[in-house]
């Protein structure tokens, strides 16, 4: 996952994880620290028709969107840690979040 803005970027690399959508793993979640401003999340994937991307704020409220690749979820956020969750069919994906640095 990469978090970037016009002044720089932050990247976090994780090991390959299980695909979304198997019985033991219905979704994958990623926590991202962002600065105040617009966060642009883009979920790209192949080999499945649709995935759902949700963002949860620290209080647990969420906003989500679903669709074919590329799924875009733009949010105006206060600085803090947010959880992005990907769910849906069994397939590999790339999630890129661009936001102000914390």
What is the pTM assigned to this prediction?
A: 0.77
Show the low-confidence residues of the chain (pLDDT under 70). Answer: 1-25
Look at residue 73 in the predicted model and tell me its pLDDT. 97
Look at residue 5 in the predicted model and tell me its pLDDT. 45
Q: Which domains does the chain have, with CATH numbers?
A: 2-10+25-98 (2.60.120.380)
Look at residue 11 in the predicted model and tell me its pLDDT. 46
Q: Pick left, alpha or beta for residue 99 (phi over 0 → left; psi -120 to 50 → alpha; otherwise beta).
A: beta
- What is the rounded CA–CA span in Å between residue 37 and residue 67? 25
Look at residue 91 in the predicted model and tell me its pLDDT. 86
Look at residue 47 in the predicted model and tell me its pLDDT. 87
Look at residue 20 in the predicted model and tell me its pLDDT. 56
């Amino acid at each position: 996952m990469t978090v970037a803005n016009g002044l720089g970027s932050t990247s976090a690399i994780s090991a390959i994880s299980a695909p979304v959508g198997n019985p033991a793993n219905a979704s994958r979640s990623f926590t991202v620290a962002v600065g105040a401003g617009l966060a642009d999340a883009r979920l790209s994937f192949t080999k499945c028709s649709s995935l759902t991307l949700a963002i949860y704020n620290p209080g647990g409220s969420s906003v989500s969107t679903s669709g074919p690749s590329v799924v875009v979820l733009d949010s105006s956020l206060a600085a803090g840690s947010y959880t992005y969750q990907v769910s849906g069919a069994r397939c590999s994906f790339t999630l890129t979040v661009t936001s102000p640095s914390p």
